[in-house]
């Protein structure tokens, strides 16, 4: 059985005054039948160690250390308290021109530091409208999932690029089609998360789908009042 995971990606949001949100999320996560992971900006990781919530990075460099100004390595994330790390988010793929090969190397670096990877894939609107969604996703899996990926070290997040931060959630049928194909490809145990405008109002419907094992949530993970109902909906699914 895949594990259930409610993951929050705070992206480039959060100053020290966000701590009460993390603490409230951590407190609400106790006793739920799902894991809760918050991926804050790297600047907040160490300070959020006492918040009572599992922590992840949003990216890691393939190298463990070195002359890479402005970057953060997987051992640094682990040292700051992270046990998870997002790799291959579409915003990184677009903003920093990260390729599938880059994502693969980052994922291996995350594993080497003992981090579980939340490896993201997703199609653009053009690819969906061209009927190329599944081909695109399978090509991303081919290129970015390293040999040795398993249900313990890797979670796959399906995030249609057109649904991220737009309020346009994929329909349950669209999500089911993709997740069923991912399940067939990746086997019975790997957790499959959906991401893209997940909120309390649509979470239960998404979590009712057979092969949706949780969510990678952006905007609605920043406030406990928004994220906790999503965590509860997953726990109850």
Ligand X SMILES: O=C[C@H](O)COP(=O)(O)O
Which residues does the annotation mark as catalytic?
A: 89, 159
- Give residues 194-223 in contact with ligand X (rule: CB under 6 A): 195-198, 216-220
* x/- track of binding to ligand X for residues 67-96 (CB under 6 A): ----------------------x-------
Closer to ligand X at the Cβ: 76 or 215? 215
Q: Return the HEC string of the chain.
A: CCCCEEEEECCCCCCHHHHHHHHHHHHHHCCCCCEEEEECCHHHHHHHHHCCCEEEECCCECCCCCCCCCCCEHHHHHHCCCCEEEECCHHHHHHCCCCHHHHHHHHHHHHHCCCEEEEEECCCHHHHHCCCHHHHHHHHHHHHCCCCCCCCCEEEEECCHHHCCCCCCCCHHHHHHHHHHHHHHHCCCCCEEECCCCCHHHHHHHHCCCCCCEEEECHHHCCHHHHHHHHHHHHHC
**Shortest distance (Å) from residue 215 CB to ligand X:** 8
Q: Which is nearer to ligand X, 109 or 170 (CB)?
A: 170
Does 117 help bind ligand X (rule: CB under 6 A)? no
- State yes or no: 111 annotated in a binding site: no
Among positions 125-184, residues that touch ligand X (CB under 6 A) are: 159, 164-165
Residues 2-21 that bind ligand X (CB under 6 A): 9
To ligand X, the closest distance from the beta carbon of 67 in angstroms equals: 29
Contacting residues toward ligand X, per CB under 6 A: 9, 89, 159, 164-165, 195-198, 216-220
């Amino acid at each position: 059985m895949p594990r259930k995971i409610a993951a929050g990606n705070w992206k480039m949001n959060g100053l020290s005054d966000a701590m009460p949100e993390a603490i409230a999320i951590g407190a609400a996560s106790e006793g739920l039948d799902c894991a809760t992971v918050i991926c804050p900006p790297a600047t907040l990781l160490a300070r959020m160690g006492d918040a009572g919530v599992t922590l992840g990075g949003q990216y890691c460099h393939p190298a463990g250390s070195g002359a890479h100004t402005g970057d953060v390595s997987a051992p640094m994330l682990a040292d700051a308290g992270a046990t998870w790390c997002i790799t291959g988010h579409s915003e990184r793929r677009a903003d920093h021109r990260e390729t599938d090969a880059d994502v693969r190397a980052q994922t291996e670096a995350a594993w080497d530091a003992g981090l579980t990877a939340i490896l993201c894939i997703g199609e653009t609107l053009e690819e969906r409208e061209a009927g190329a969604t599944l081909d695109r996703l399978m090509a991303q899996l081919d290129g970015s999932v390293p040999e040795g990926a398993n249900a313990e070290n890797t979670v796959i997040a399906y995030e249609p690029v057109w649904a991220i931060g737009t309020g346009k959630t994929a329909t349950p049928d669209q999500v089911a089609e993709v997740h069923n194909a991912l399940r067939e490809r990746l086997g019975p145990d790997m957790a499959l998360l959906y991401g893209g405008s997940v909120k309390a109002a649509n979470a239960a419907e998404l979590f009712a789908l057979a092969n949706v094992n949780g969510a990678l949530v952006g905007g609605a993970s920043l406030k406990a009042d928004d994220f906790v109902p999503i965590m509860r909906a997953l726990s109850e699914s």
